[in-house]
Structure 1
């Protein structure tokens, strides 16, 4: 074989490997990639991240639920109809796209809200991939005089303190549960609930990370089964005692790691 032919084969092999890797990344959902993808970012006003409180994931006061300023709203191409709530993303400002970027800076944020179409000057319109960061997190990536910056992003595991938490709302005939402080891949795609005298009752996503079902469970110790999106399922037994009440929050002894 000639040296020229050998060189052509090597280049062809390299090209195939590059194309395979690119196709693998592009074939994944935008909200699921664990290799770097490209998006844009803006920020909420409010240096205390007050503009990010409440929101489409249902976490309410982000300080009391443990997310604090390390938060972001997502365009729906990334939020995935609420099923990406609780997921964690690493972001870097793309130096080749903005003079306002700080070099070598990386942040990790949790998805806690939606960035709806028509907001942020149209940057959140479908099918755009966009992060609307809290002001403190944006200012770690770039000078906040920049209205919008190009970023690269990827999904990363969430590191949480303590166990998965469950806040129980509703009434005796309607269980309405917020699931949060979830570690591992963070985003919850399925929940089931059981009393100590029943089997498992699968819950429906009501909105964000609120899940609902209608078994009568008053006076029973409660256990939960939580399924992370495309990953694993874990059972959390006897999280709430038999004398639990609506409006109370209970923390499991363990988490996803």
Structure 2
């Protein structure tokens, strides 16, 4: 009986170790930008105490206060930016207490990806293949003391909580639609967009840069609808978001979001 018991215990231990290994392999096999279990990275800060230096940037959002993201933002290294398709994604970040004495215990933040931290940036922290978050200073200050400069962090993708519906800002000209997609809920980052007028079918849009999408379609004078696919695979249609008298430079908000 004792031998059988020991054999059962060994089997349980081996099974547990196998599950831990498979779970680790699952995390490692995911693209860094898509990790929904904890991954490892480092973080710094930029933009000054008022975060004014974080405005604009590689995602195209412009003024982060007026667009609704405020200071809860971060720039991403190339390994996390996913060629700009991670723009709008939300990340939960915690400082690793066993890696820096400057971390505040028990603190965590959720930030939106709004910019790129390009290779060659000061300190080389954003050089490939490093995974790095360049946080707004107000967000870094919630995790660690400023003197730390660089901190080791754990991070994971989380759903974005937004106020109101998904928004579309129209740019371009009568023959070229150039649309910024923002205030996206759910997993936040958009990987595909189509546009249609009430007299046409769907026109697939090309990823231009950041979260700007473009299509050569003449849709002036028509109600506009959009089909949006998130990078985690969920697709949703947003019908009649813009009325037929829409104009370039205007922003239109849908009645709903990815919830």
TM-score above 0.5, yes or no:
yes
Alignment counterpart, residue 254 of structure 1, candidates 248, 253, 256: 256
Q: State how far apart, in whole Å, the 1-side matches of 2:27 and 2:88 are.
A: 22
Q: State how far apart, in whole Å, the 2-side matches of 1:11 and 1:87 are.
A: 38
Query: Residue 165 of structure 2 contacts residue 255 of structure 2 at CA under 8 Å; is this kept in 1?
Result: yes
Partner SS state of residue 65, structure 2:
coil
1:30: which partner in 2? 32
Instruction: From the two aligned structures, give the one with the greater helix fraction.
Output: 2
1:89: which partner in 2? 91
Q: State how far apart, in whole Å, the 1-side matches of 2:86 and 2:213 are.
A: 14
Shift of 1:147: 0.9
Shift of 1:17: 0.7
Shift of 1:8: 2.0
1:245: which partner in 2? 247
Query: Residue 226 of structure 1 contacts residue 235 of structure 1 at CA under 8 Å; is this kept in 2?
Result: yes
1:1-257 → structure 2 map (5 Å cutoff): 2=3, 3-257=5-259
Instruction: Summarize deviations over 1:60-106 as a string: whole Å, max 9, x none.
Output: 00001100000000001001001110000000000000000000001
Q: State how far apart, in whole Å, the 2-side matches of 1:9 and 1:239 are.
A: 58
Shift of 1:52: 1.1
> What is the root-mean-square deviation of aligned Cα atoms in Å?
0.9
Shift of 1:122: 0.4
After the TM superposition, which segments of 4 or more aligned residues of structure 1 sit over 3 Å from their partners?
Answer: none
- What TM-score results when the alignment is normalised by the length of structure 1? 0.98
Shift of 1:230: 2.5
Q: State how far apart, in whole Å, the 1-side matches of 2:106 and 2:122 are.
A: 26
Shift of 1:15: 1.1
Shift of 1:7: 2.5
Shift of 1:155: 0.4
Q: State how far apart, in whole Å, the 2-side matches of 1:225 and 1:57 are.
A: 20
Shift of 1:10: 1.8
Instruction: Summarize deviations over 1:107-160 as a string: whole Å, max 9, x none.
Output: 000000000001131000011110000000000000011110000000000000
Shift of 1:12: 1.0
Partner SS state of residue 48, structure 2:
coil
Query: Residue 42 of structure 1 contacts residue 120 of structure 1 at CA under 8 Å; is this kept in 2?
Result: no
Shift of 1:4: 3.1
Q: State how far apart, in whole Å, the 1-side matches of 2:198 and 2:240 are.
A: 8
In structure 2, list runs of 5 or more residues that go unmatched.
Answer: none
Query: Residue 187 of structure 2 contacts residue 232 of structure 2 at CA under 8 Å; is this kept in 1?
Result: no
Q: State how far apart, in whole Å, the 2-side matches of 1:225 and 1:178 are.
A: 14
- What TM-score results when the alignment is normalised by the length of structure 2? 0.98
Partner SS state of residue 241, structure 2:
strand
